[in-house]
Amino acid sequence: MSAAMIGPYEQSPAAKAAYDARWERIMACVRLEQPDRMPVGLHSFFWPATYGGISFKELMYDYDKAKKACYDAVIEFEPDGVFPLVLGTSAGNALEKIGFKQLQWPGHGVGEMQPFQYLDREYMSADEYDEFLFDPTGFYLQKYLPRVASAFEGFDKLPVFPGLHYFRLVNGIRPFALPEVRASFEKIVAAAEEVNVMFSHHVDWTQKINAAGYPLFNGGNSVSPYDFIADYFRGATGMMKDLFRHKDKLKLVLDKAAVFLARMTIANAKAAGHPIVFIPTHWAPDAFMNPRQFEEFWWPPFRRMMIELIDAGLVPMPMWESDCTKRLEVIKDIPAGKCIYWFERTDMVKAFEVLGDRVALRGNLSPSLLTTGTPEDVDAAVKHLVDNVWNKGGKLILDGAFGIPDETPVANVRAMFGAARKYAG
């Protein structure tokens, strides 16, 4: 990655040297090499609002306030890599215009100081697996998108595209003249224009922190094939039943999803010009399925997807949520020096023992500790990770368990960054 000159923000020689040093610390960890000091990441969703003294709703809807709060946090804490903070939360206007139905957000379904609330529902029935397998794009256009976003509701009137040919192509496009289809296109264009506005603010903020010497930690996000279907199509109850009632079709769907998710992720990462891909994992934890089910359904399509990303020159960064101790020996089956494994509640010392010669590690200060502990507690927790992972050769990138929790006192974040520099800097 290069950031010698970025947009309207000129990078000084000192800022360029700092940028390059921070990025090299991260990539040295990925390569399983020892950097000059332990890198620290800054990942969060609504904590910049806490830091900046604004509401969560303002962070979502007021681009200028969001950019200021996020920028000020970066400048104070001097992280080695930063989550795309503005893009991660400032989507309120775009979500409104697209009529998004799968989520509630501050000021829309939940209070102005409450975080995202995902709505777990069934957006594809089990008897639609065959339709999805035969023509995923057609299913998306005519059924899935109208179910999850009101701007697309007219698309259920679109023609069946496979089979349109010759004069059938001419006669078959009549549905595009329907009022409801036209209305959907108008809503989608308006929503897309708002997304362009949002993205321009993201780019402006990113260019500004880059010019100040701070790289983004990741340029894009992705999802595991299993989580993609469980979270966004079948819902929790439907997916758990499918493990027993529709296991063969489920495997076919997961295999197909692994292909197009990898292609989408590679295209997005190449467009962003950034190799690290953040992949939150929702259904991998020990408590959600037994080891046999994990090895049969969850891991194989995800591993195939990660290998495709690695072969494309990318760095997968799965965020292994909750406790994944029982998964460590399985998820070790990945090329060495190619990934970052971020752990939320898995014992990091145990993770280092199993995975230390295979992947860089990220995390994992307890969210309870960060939100309710004292700065002295945070200092001790950082020292524990340094003594038992970093000082023993682990390639550790310090961060919160899932970044900085929304309600974390600013003093505790200062303690986290200060302890990292004190004990491993």
CA-based nearest residue to 419, from 373, 364, 381: 381
Give the tens place of pLDDT for each residue, 218-231.
999 999 999 999 99
DSSP reduced 3-state for 149: strand
pTM of the entire structure? 0.96
Angle between helix 410-424 and 63-77 (nearest 10): 30
Average pLDDT, the chain: 96
How does pLDDT run across 331-351, given as a tens digit for each residue?
999 999 999 999 999 999 999
Residue 5: which pLDDT band, with cuts at 50, 70 and 90?
very low
Give Cα separations from 196 to 121, 201, 217, 360 (angstroms). Answer: 29, 9, 22, 35
Helices (H) and strands (E) in the chain, counts: 21, 13
Q: In angstroms, rounded to a whole number, what is the distance separating the alpha carbons of residues 286 and 62? A: 39
* The CATH fold of domain 5-88+195-424: TIM Barrel (3.20.20)
Residue pair 401/351 in contact (Cβ under 8 Å)? The answer is: no
The owner of tokens 């009101």 is 150
Q: What pLDDT score does 8 carry? A: 79
Report residue 394: phi and psi, to 5°: -70, 140
| Predicted confidence (pLDDT) per residue in 118-161, tens digit | 999 999 999 999 999 999 999 999 999 999 999 999 999 999 99
The amino acid that residue 374 corresponds to is: T
- pLDDT level of residue 2 (50, 70, 90 thresholds): very low
Per residue in 95-110, pLDDT tens? 999 999 999 999 999 9
Could you read off the pLDDT of 31-88 as tens digits, one per residue?
999 999 999 999 999 999 999 999 999 999 999 999 999 999 999 999 999 999 999 9
Joined together, the tokens standing for residue 383 give 């020292």
- What is the pLDDT, as a whole number, of residue 190? 98
List the chain domain ranges. Answer: 5-88+195-424
Q: What is the pLDDT of residues 236-277, one digit of tens each?
A: 999 999 999 999 999 999 999 999 999 999 999 999 999 999
State how far the Cα of 97 lies from the Cα of 187, in Å rounded to an integer.
Answer: 7
